[in-house]
Each structure stands twice: as C-alpha cells, then as structure tokens.
Amino acid sequence: MFFLSLVAFSQNCTGYYYLQNNKTIEMTISNKKGKESGKLVYAISNVSKNGNATTATINSEMFDKNGKSVSKATNNVQCENGILMMDMKMFIPSSQQQQMGDVSASGTTTYLEYPSTMKEGDALKDVSFSMDFKSKSGLGGHISIDMTNRKVEGRESITTPAGTWDCYKITYHSKMVFKMGIGIPMNADVTEWYAPGFGVVKTESNEGSTEITSIK
C-alpha cells in the first residue's frame, strides 16, 4: 500500500501520477447503486520539463462494463511550482463521453487548478468550460461545464485497490449542459479526494463514483 503524508509533501511536480512518463492509470467507474459500469485508462507520455514547469500528454480510453472501448481522447496536463492544472475535457462525465464517442473538438483549453498551498477551509478557484464537438458520423453538439463553490472541507485517509492516501476532501457544485439536439442542464454536488503531490484518487456524486484501481 502507498501512503503519502501531507506534511512531507514537496512543492514540485514529480510525484503527480499524470506527470510520470509511461505510467498507465486505471480508474473504475461505478453507478449510483455501486455497481461497476466501466473503466477509464490513462496512458501518460511526452513528459517535458522546463524550469519549474512540467507538461504531459494524457491519452485516455473509456471502456464500458463489458470491456468494449467506447471513446478515446488526448489531453494535456500542466504543473508549475507544484500547482496541478488539468484540462477540463477530462472532467466530462462518463455517460456523456459514451454518447460522444470519438470526436473532434474546438474551443479554448481550460484548466482546473489544484494549488500546492491548499489547506482546510480554503475556497478554490471556480472554473467554466465550453466546447463544440463533432462525432465521426458528422453529428455535432456542444457541452458546457461550470464548477462552483469549490471548498477544501478537511483531511481524510482514503484507501482504494491501488493504495492508501492522505487526502484533502474537496466539494463543489457542477452544472453541465450537454446538447446533441435539446440541451438540458444537469446539476450535481461532487466530492473528491485529492492527495497533494499525487492527484485525485476518488470522486463521488449522486450519479456514482470513480476511483483509482491500478497504477502501472
């Protein structure tokens, strides 16, 4: 089992699992009843360092509960002085990713920040993201996500099949509008557990949960 101490956390970028070259991270997706509904697999490549900044390419693939590949994507992750910046396209919910499949997308890249100096009671930056997309079949659509009221609620130790982490518990409100025809706003209250210097290891909402189950 792997345990990461908050006290021992160093403000550099080397430990984040999104920034370790040639690593493969598997996240298991469960529905609101707690049953496994799919997996997300992230393959890390092209890690590059320039001074205090590190960037990486994240090749992701989603599989349904039967192990069938349903979507693929390529995104970027950045880190500077210990602040992790994640491409918001990585936060598109699994059900919408399955509907979209493999798509081409347009829009400005937007990042969600995890500051290295967070502490209990902190309010973190809100973020808004929007993207137009087109599927291989030519069907177009639009998605927008707003994450608001992000707050560090406290500390908790979290254990998953991949290890044990000392985490910050972060809550926020998510509002998403997904349009492939008529767009209907979808709201969710989300809780995630973030291990400083490592990354998010578990997320829960009224729609289900995701957690790290393998790191290779």
Question: Does residue 6 lie in a domain region?
Answer: no
7 located within any domain: no
**CATH number of 44's domain:** 2.40.360.20
Q: Residue 73 falls within a domain, yes or no?
A: yes
Q: How many CB atoms lie within 10 A of CB 142?
A: 14
Please state whether beta strands 184-195 and 199-205 pair in parallel, antiparallel, or not at all (unpaired): antiparallel
Q: Is residue 102, in this structure, part of any structural domain at all?
A: yes
Please state the pTM of the whole predicted model.
0.86
Q: Is residue 199 part of a domain?
A: yes
**Domain count of the fold of the chain:** 1
Return left, alpha or beta for 64; rule: phi > 0 is left, psi -120 to 50 is alpha, else beta. Answer: beta
pLDDT tens for the chain, 216 residues long, are 333 433 333 456 778 989 999 999 999 999 999 999 999 999 999 999 988 889 999 999 989 999 999 888 888 899 988 789 999 888 877 666 666 555 556 566 899 999 988 999 999 999 999 888 776 666 778 888 999 999 999 999 999 999 999 999 999 999 999 887 677 788 999 999 999 888 999 999 988 999 999 999
The CB density around residue 81, as the number of other CB atoms within 10 Å, is 13
In a domain, 12, yes or no: no
Q: Give the structural domain span for 76.
A: 17-215
